[in-house]
Structure 1
Amino acid sequence: MTESSTPAHLKTTADAYGAVADLYAELARDAFDDFPLDRAVLAAFAEHVRTAGAGTVAELGCGPGQTTAHLRDLGLDVFGVDLSPAMIDLARRAYPDLRFEVGSMDALELADGALAGVVSWYSVIHTPPAELPRYFAEFARVLAPGGHLVVAFFEAEDGPLTEFDHKVTTAYRWPIDEMAGLARAAGFSEIGRMLREPHEGERFRRGHLLMRRG
């Protein structure tokens, strides 16, 4: 995808994260230290991937690479993809033993069925709602049958889909049932879900979905 053909919302997101890349990386470095439930979701995902026969996993929207490194530490063969060249530069410097690529999660340069797992850890939160079904379709395309997907996002609790003023750029809070419905429409079945109340300093409840491609 050339810069001239990049959709406006993707360019906005990439530019916004590029502008705060160093600060973001510093804040995210110990992202899992105080969040045992988040670690548990990723551990469950890793166990499902290993039980299904392992294979390659992609973290899509990997940022500075801390979640990719965490997945590596869980025993997965994993690489990261991010739209922001600045984030990829930081990830490569921080984790030189891991593979990181610049790319867009809605148009991956991967063959059909190439992956055993896909991780979208707060990486679809800036996607305009009308575009999100296309992302789930791409996740399904690159996953082998029986492959696993985990998605983390800001949850809308009992309210409707809501736009909010994320510190980097516009983002969306999704009711977990609606997010699960988008995944089902793309051919995924739900294994489990986790809702976590906001910790100190967080504004919103967090949603997590663990899915399997049919």
Structure 2
Amino acid sequence: MAEHQAEHQEQTRAAYDGVVELYASMFSDRLETRPFARAIIGTFAELVRGNGNLRTADVGCGPGHLTAMLHDLGLDAFGIDLSPGMVAHARRAHPALEFDEARMEALPVEDGALGGVLAHYSMIHTPPGELPALLAEQVRVLAPGGLLLVSFFGTDGTGGTDGSDGTAGSEPVRFDHKVTPAYCWPVDRFAELLTDAGLVPFARLVHDPASERGFLDAHLLARRD
């Protein structure tokens, strides 16, 4: 298990290191063309501000564009990414903000320290069997009442159970992401994982895709008890 985890993480790190400048240029608009995602991130930031603990981690931050957005929305935001190339770019692009190289499964954060965690399409490369441990780590660093916003490629849970008809049923389906292999999740199934991890999902936004893949864009908001 640990060996497989290390292998896929090394592949993911290498893949993103190889596309840093291209990836950064593609997402430099900071969601200006994606109103639904922009709205749910704004809602997340407002709720974190309302709780009073502004310290927020952007896990899988990539080039740091959303870390900067969270900062602009009034949060004490910092970014974490597996890719040293992405971290270096983020530091150059946003020198006033904090960025560190780390794995989402082993965050350099004390227990219960954060008011919020943003995971914007950063859990999509995690194999399904490893996702519960990753979610448990996000719960560990959240203070009671802290919020997690996770975004991912989703389905409504209909279609073939094995994905053989091109759709996903009740289980996640692996697909060829442009950077490195990823997984599409039925929204209800992902929400169950959040519950199993000790979170309380309380809001979701699911909408038609912004890309040619055809998956839904899914966003789940959850609170730590």
Sort the TM-score into its range (normalised by shorter chain).
Answer: over 0.9
* Per-residue deviation, residues 72-98 of structure 1 (Å, max 9, x unmatched): 111111000000000001000111111
Q: Distance in 2 between matches of 1:192 and 1:55?
A: 20
Q: CA deviation at 1:201?
A: 4.3
Aligned to 2:196: 185
Q: Distance in 1 between matches of 2:78 and 2:214?
A: 30
Q: CA deviation at 1:111?
A: 1.0
Q: TM-score normalised to the size of structure 1?
A: 0.95
Q: What amino acid maps onto 2:22 in structure 1?
A: L
Q: Is the 8 A contact 1:58 1:119 kept in 2?
A: yes
Q: CA deviation at 1:36?
A: 1.1
In the superposition, relative to structure 1, how do residues 5 and 152 fare at CA in structure 2: closer, same or farther (>3 Å)?
Answer: closer
Q: Distance in 1 between matches of 2:16 and 2:8?
A: 12
In the superposition, relative to structure 1, how do residues 109 and 206 fare at CA in structure 2: closer, same or farther (>3 Å)?
Answer: same
Paired residue secondary structure (1:29): coil
1:211 maps to 2:194: no
Q: CA deviation at 1:173?
A: 0.2
Q: Is the 8 A contact 1:156 1:162 kept in 2?
A: no
Aligned to 1:123: 122
* C-alpha RMSD over aligned residues: 1.5
Aligned to 1:62: 61
Q: Is the 8 A contact 2:40 2:219 kept in 1?
A: yes
1:70-149 counterparts in 2 under 5 A? 70-149=69-148
Q: What amino acid maps onto 1:75 in structure 2?
A: G
In the superposition, relative to structure 1, how do residues 200 and 207 fare at CA in structure 2: closer, same or farther (>3 Å)?
Answer: closer
| Displacement over 4 Å in runs of 4+ | none
Could you list the runs of 5+ residues in structure 2 that have no partner in the other structure? Answer: 159-167
Q: Distance in 1 between matches of 2:210 and 2:62?
A: 22
Q: CA deviation at 1:116?
A: 0.7
1:166 maps to 2:177: yes
* Per-residue deviation, residues 35-54 of structure 1 (Å, max 9, x unmatched): 11111100110111011113
In the superposition, relative to structure 1, how do residues 105 and 184 fare at CA in structure 2: closer, same or farther (>3 Å)?
Answer: same
Q: CA deviation at 1:203?
A: 3.3
Q: What amino acid maps onto 2:182 in structure 1?
A: A
> How many residues of Structure 1 are paired with residues of Structure 2 in the alignment?
211
Q: Is the 8 A contact 1:154 1:205 kept in 2?
A: yes
Aligned to 2:13: 14
Q: CA deviation at 1:199?
A: 2.8
Q: Is the 8 A contact 2:139 2:199 kept in 1?
A: yes
Q: Distance in 1 between matches of 2:151 and 2:84?
A: 22
Q: Is the 8 A contact 1:58 1:118 kept in 2?
A: yes
Q: What amino acid maps onto 1:82 in structure 2?
A: D
Q: CA deviation at 1:110?
A: 1.3
Q: Is the 8 A contact 2:30 2:69 kept in 1?
A: no
Q: What amino acid maps onto 1:151 in structure 2?
A: V
Q: What amino acid maps onto 2:100 in structure 1?
A: E
* Per-residue deviation, residues 108-165 of structure 1 (Å, max 9, x unmatched): 1211101110000000000000000001100000001110000000002322311101
Give the share of equivalent positions with the same residue, in percent.
48
Q: Distance in 2 between matches of 1:140 and 1:200?
A: 30
Q: What amino acid maps onto 2:115 in structure 1?
A: A
Q: What amino acid maps onto 2:209 in structure 1?
A: P
Could you list the runs of 5+ residues in structure 1 that have no partner in the other structure? Answer: none
